[in-house]
Chain A
């Protein structure tokens, strides 16, 4: 059993399963910092999952599929932004309704376009896998890291870059200002609504990438409701890591690992359900710890106003 837990194939599949979470969570990090509660990640992913398959089948290239998928998710996020920012509708309700609508729309499209129910396959295949020249030679690690889908590497790069982007880039600094104290941001001429909209569009873009990864890596297919709550796990990762991309990498791999082991351990009679609660349990615990031991800066704010 221990062997399975730490086998290179379990770890490799953990990394693979972590990738869509990581992508969607990076999208969620942008809305997190802009203080927009975004539970529509799930819906964005699902929309993109469908359209990336449609794009791949229609144009024969997974890259065009990715582009079309991400665009469709961004359009959905534009709708989210319009309703939440312009019409002042409630974040949660809009998010839930979009998730519901995405489910309905993708199943309808599946029938309307492909004339099938349930599943559509991409015959031409998805993204290529890549053997990393030197790393693949390292005995154990090579099997984990090398031979992954190209998007896995891109995602890791995006996450690392995202850390700098949010904390060092002017856009990121402004975004955090908007989320933390919108009036103050507004007072120096930063348009709060624009930045919130940018953050929502970015969440659509990255959730879109996540959806495309789901469909175009490995089996290369779209099935009804194929995100199956992955958007919510990604959201858990966002809150677990408080929107820090560096921690999102960690959280996603951890959550991906629990998913991977929940499958692997079934052969030993360990029910997968227990493993599947772990991401959520950990997030609740993390949220509690974050609230119970706030950082000093928060205290100082209380003093300043006193």
Chain B
């Protein structure tokens, strides 16, 4: 390993998406043989930068320099040819092909007739397997393998193409701690063999345990690059969020009435189609006036929990009580009668992009007599009036209520969605990553709205990947780990470190159940 040989340099990379600057004059240099962590919150521009480095996106401006030579990537292959390979969050694997076929795909050793030379491929992959301490069954069909092994297949795919620079985009998001350990072991052996690794994450403890240097991004801009030996989690966290780790928004005075449960989930179990348990014996209660935060590393059952509560999935067993009404399962329609749901994916699920704003607001309300007659004719004026009120009250910036919702910016769309969900005056609000991808202004607006809503004596179940958000808003936090509630922490006792320990499965609460 040559000391301080800069193998990859990104200079002044700028990338715009409609309405957003994802990367604003970003520069980054990566030294050969290091593990370079790239951290930042969701939406900080890490993934975009890495997609540019891997040739998937093309930068609007800026230079990519590999081994001192200016490169111009038009496609991922151009990046391969320079030795850069990326493992994406979403695996690029063909489920019906075997591991071997997936690894060699696009770079197949062939025999004289153009058939796949299985023997040669096998030989090379076994060698790689051995060299890097990986253990992947070559003839297995990829779709039948667990996620952690699929990830190894992705890494092998990169190594097979002689990647010298391996970009891993949030590789631990889908792994258990045990599997994370294995991954780190593999990464260390890759490093020992001279591979340079760029490790994208937003988990600071991982940075400290695996990386040599770390670059912090925030809002599309690099905040700085530091040797890991010189930083602490606090320091990194501060660079990431740009202020003290926990910035409290104006806490609104509010009372939690612990005698009136609004949402009460009892002994819910859920397994996947393939029979894996996803949710195990979930018990939780949200009281009147309370914001209950749900924390967890992505993929530990939060999404499914929300789906069960909002009626998108039927639990295998258990029951859901909402204001004393009991359901073995609830339908989305029934759930939304008196409750609201701000879902994670506001463009694909929470709105209908080609339809107008008023049509997006009307959803679920179309049966109400104030919006349609008994015979089924829409009352346009009432609907328009109601929509205009929401647009005004929640400050949705749009030329007209007839504009397609898809033309709104992310922040405006979320204001519209939140407005729609709050204007119907629900009893319970379920919100899933409500500020994901929003700018600072919109983020604070959404958070304030949620707090004010709870202050009116309403209840909120807040699921978020943003720990700050949970700490800021929640009266209580429960932590999901591998589909189980492993801890419950009162809001005023919660710290990122404490919640983090539960999230990583390093700590378990004694009582698994929330007292009623």
Contact = CB atoms under 8 A, between A and B. Distances in A.
Give yes or no for direct A-B contact (beta carbon below 8 Å).
yes
Interface of A: 164, 168-171, 173-174, 176-177, 180-181, 183-190, 296-304, 306
Given A174-B105, A297-B144, 20 more contacts: A168-B116, A169-B113, A170-B110, A170-B115, A171-B114, A173-B101, A180-B95, A180-B97, A181-B92, A185-B105, A187-B92, A188-B92, A188-B107, A296-B143, A297-B142, A301-B95, A301-B143, A303-B274, A306-B303, A306-B304
B108 interface: yes
Nearest to A298: B143
Interface stretch (B7-15, B59-67, B75-83, B238-246): B75-83
Contact of B143 (A176, A186, A300): A300
Contacts of B143: 296-298, 300-301, 304
Contact of A300 (B56, B274, B304): B274
A174 B106 contact: yes
Interface in B353-401: none
Which of A185, A186, A302, A306 has the largest number of chain B CB atoms within 10 A? A306
Contacts of B274: 296, 299-300, 302-303
A197 B97 CA distance: 22
Given A170-B115, A176-B97, A297-B95, A303 B273 contact: yes
Contact of B273 (A170, A190, A299): A299
B285 interface: no
Interface centre among A169, A188, A302 (most CB of B within 10 A): A188
B147 A304 contact: yes
Nearest to B301: A306
11 contacts: A168-B116, A176-B94, A184-B92, A184-B94, A188-B107, A188-B157, A189-B106, A297-B143, A303-B273, A306-B272, A306-B304
Interface of B: 56, 75-77, 80, 88, 91-97, 101, 105-108, 110, 113-116, 141-145, 147, 150, 157, 272-274, 276, 278, 299, 303-304
A169 B94 contact: no
A177 B272 contact: no
Q: Enumerate the 9 nearest inter-chain pairs by beta-carbon distance, A residue then B residue, closest first.
A: A188-B106, A297-B143, A184-B92, A189-B77, A299-B274, A299-B273, A303-B272, A177-B94, A187-B92
B96 A297 contact: yes
Contacts of B76: 186-189
Contacts of B278: 306
A191 B75 CA distance: 11
Contact of A173 (B95, B113, B116, B273): B116
Nearest to B94: A177
A15 B307 CA distance: 53
Contacts of B141: 297
Contacts of B96: 176, 180, 297
A296 B276 CA distance: 13
A276 to B, nearest CB: 34
Contacts of B145: 300
A49 B75 CA distance: 43
Nearest to A304: B147
Given A188-B106, A190-B105, A183 B147 contact: no
A251 B144 CA distance: 29
A300 to B, nearest CB: 5
Contacts of A170: 108, 110, 114-116
A221 to B, nearest CB: 39
Nearest to B77: A189
Contact of A304 (B113, B150, B303): B150
Contacts of A173: 97, 101, 105, 108, 116
Contacts of B108: 170, 173
A190 B97 CA distance: 15
Contacts of B110: 170
Contacts of A184: 91-94
A42 to B, nearest CB: 29
Contacts of A183: 92
Contact of B80 (A181, A189, A306): A189
B173 to A, nearest CB: 12
Contacts of A176: 94, 96-97
A161 B75 CA distance: 34
A192 B278 CA distance: 35
A166 to B, nearest CB: 12
A177 B105 contact: yes
B509 to A, nearest CB: 25
Contacts of A303: 272-274, 276
A154 B80 CA distance: 42
B99 to A, nearest CB: 13
B19 to A, nearest CB: 24
A174 B107 CA distance: 10
A284 to B, nearest CB: 24
A169 B97 CA distance: 13
Nearest to B270: A306
Contacts of A169: 113-116
Contacts of B114: 169-171
A180 B157 CA distance: 18
Contacts of A180: 94-97
Given A169-B114, A189-B77, A300 B95 contact: yes
Contacts of A301: 95, 143
A176 B97 CA distance: 8
B116 A189 contact: no
Contacts of B157: 188
B279 to A, nearest CB: 11
Nearest to B147: A304
A280 B304 CA distance: 40
Given A188-B76, A297-B144, A302 B273 contact: yes
A174 B273 CA distance: 29
Contact of B97 (A171, A177, A299, A306): A177
Nearest to A174: B105
B217 to A, nearest CB: 24
Q: Chain A CB within 10 Å — which of B56, B94, B141 has the most? A: B94
A143 to B, nearest CB: 36
